[in-house]
Amino acid sequence: MKFENIVTRVGRMPLPGALTAETYDYRAEPLDALKRGEIRIETIYASIDAGARGMLDPSANYPMLLRPGNRVYTSGVVGQVVESLDPAFSPGDFVRALSVTRQKYLTVDPKRTLGVRKVDPADGPLHIHIGALGMTGFTAWLGMFTIGLPKPGETVLVSAAAGAVGSVAGQIAKAIGARVVGVAGGVKKCDAVVSRFGLDACVDYKADGLSAAIDATCPAGIDVYFENVGGVVQKLVMERMNMFGRMIMCGQVSQYNGSCSGGGGAGGPNLMNVINRRLNLRGFISSDHMDMFPAFERSVLSLVRSGKLLPCATVTEGFDQLHDAVNSLSQGRNFGQQVHQMADDPLNA
Ligand SMILES: NC(=O)c1ccc[n+]([C@@H]2O[C@H](COP(=O)([O-])OP(=O)(O)OC[C@H]3O[C@@H](n4cnc5c(N)ncnc54)[C@H](OP(=O)(O)O)[C@@H]3O)[C@@H](O)[C@H]2O)c1
């Protein structure tokens, strides 16, 4: 066989807390011959998403739940075509695919698979297409433009502001002209959120005095909250929302690892605030809105090209180290989009 495939499947369902090496299996599996219209991609980078932990925790109520033996999902991969029976693609082309499974060689029909397209290396490092220009960037853009709708001068607060979705959401709100405050874990991350992503301030939720720090950085209250984490941060923010504020309910990462770390299970928000303050609180799942993906790509690509949006990624290696890469997100070790390098990147050799 010309190509030896390795497929990542769920091994053992994890206990609450960090994942272990037994969480995933990496199995050599045979590849079928290509059918007409299909292409085979060698995966170079795969996205690591916070939801990967939620998908393994039945108590997290995450939209997708995986079981032992299931293939492992990733929000995007970028790689190089190694075989093609689609005249629009040739071996050597760099391509991106969205919402696929994690394997060494991915076989797809570009006409039937989400977001398969050639990528232009001139737009930045290959992994930008599964970060700021992939599903995470799309999630940030969608939440901000369909739910948050910040106006210039309004105060926007973004949690997990140094992460994949949060770093793009904060920079988009800045580009709109809002006053943007981030929330992140640790002084180093908070400094970087301000110095690299250009946010107006960033609150360290791991330090003492979180409530006073939000008051100090949001003296005029909060008009738009981009919610990624849940728990104590959500509770404190909801108490400071302005009348007719908008809460973009994107994720609840503090509740994804079976132990409700970060206060996910402790003292939830008082939902009377939603009524008294006439809040618009709306959840969304980005994959429901793929018809808007082309508009997102045009908009965010132009922000990237004009230097108004700085993409950022943490790249880790080791095909069989997926558990550690996922732990990196629940432990806050990533800065920007976490991507897993699965093969050599010829553009970054
Ligand atoms: N609705 C949708 O369609 C959709 C799509 C994609 C992603 N999402 C959601 O978007 C959010 C961000 O996902 P992502 O993939 O971009 O991950 P990410 O933000 O790159 O990584 C997760 C970050 O969350 C922070 N964190 C971890 N545990 C925490 C806790 N207990 N309390 C507070 N913060 C904590 C960590 O940063 P610190 O160091 O700052 O703690 C970590 O870097 C997740 O909630 C995810 O489910 C939603």
Express each pLDDT in 77-134 by its tens digit: 999 999 999 999 999 999 999 999 999 999 999 999 989 999 999 889 999 999 999 9
**Do residues 74 and 47 make contact, with C-beta atoms less than 8 angstroms apart?**
yes
Test site for ligand 1: of 189, 229, 257, most ligand atoms within 8 A of the Cβ: 229
The per-residue pLDDT for 6 is 97
Query: How many angstroms separate the CA atoms of 341 and 4, rounded?
Result: 17
Query: How many angstroms separate the CA atoms of 19 and 27, rounded?
Result: 19
Tokens 């110095």 identify what position? Answer: 195
When pLDDT is averaged across residues 149-161 and rounded to a whole number, the result is 98
Residues with CB under 6 A from ligand 1: 49-51, 136, 139, 160, 162-166, 184-185, 189, 228-229, 231, 250-254, 261-262, 284-286, 329-330, 332, 334, 338
When pLDDT is averaged across residues 141-170 and rounded to a whole number, the result is 98
HSE, CB side, 13 Å, CA atoms: give it for residue 81.
25
**Do residues 154 and 173 make contact, with C-beta atoms less than 8 angstroms apart?**
no
Higher pLDDT, 167 or 255: 167
pLDDT in tens, 323-339: 999 999 989 999 999 99
Question: What Rg do the C-alpha atoms of the chain give, in angstroms?
Answer: 20
Q: Is the pTM of this model over 0.75?
A: yes
Does residue 269 register a pLDDT over 80?
Answer: no
pLDDT in tens, 70-79: 999 999 999 9
**Residue 108 alpha carbon to ligand 1 centre in Å:** 29
Q: What is the mean pLDDT of the chain?
A: 93
Query: How many other CB atoms sit within 10 Å of the CB of residue 64?
Result: 12
Phi-psi region of 279 (alpha: psi -120 to 50; beta: other; left: phi over 0): beta
Beta bridge partners of 79: 43, 95
The per-residue pLDDT for 265 is 46
C-alpha separations of 342 from 4, 51, 77, 306, 321 in Å = 14, 20, 10, 30, 10
Span of 308-312, 320-324, 345-349 with lowest mean pLDDT: 345-349
Q: What is the DSSP letter of 309?
A: S
Query: How many other CB atoms sit within 10 Å of the CB of residue 153?
Result: 10
Residue nearest to atom 27 of ligand 1 (CA): 330
Does residue 163 register a pLDDT over 70?
Answer: yes
Q: For residue 170, what is the enclosing H or E element?
A: helix 164-176
When pLDDT is averaged across residues 215-227 and rounded to a whole number, the result is 98
**Residue 1 alpha carbon to ligand 1 centre in Å:** 40
Does residue 343 register a pLDDT over 70?
Answer: yes
Does residue 276 register a pLDDT over 70?
Answer: yes
DSSP sequence for 213-252: HHHHH-TT-EEEEEESS-HHHHHHHHTTEEEEEEEEE---
DSSP sequence for 37-56: T-EEEEEEEEEE-THHHHTT
Let me know how long the chain is: 349
261 CA closest ligand 1 atom index: 31
Coil, helix or strand for 63? Answer: coil
Ramachandran angles phi, psi of 40, nearest 5°: -115, 130
Confidence of residue 277 (pLDDT cuts 50, 70, 90): confident
Query: How many angstroms separate the CA atoms of 278 and 274, rounded?
Result: 6
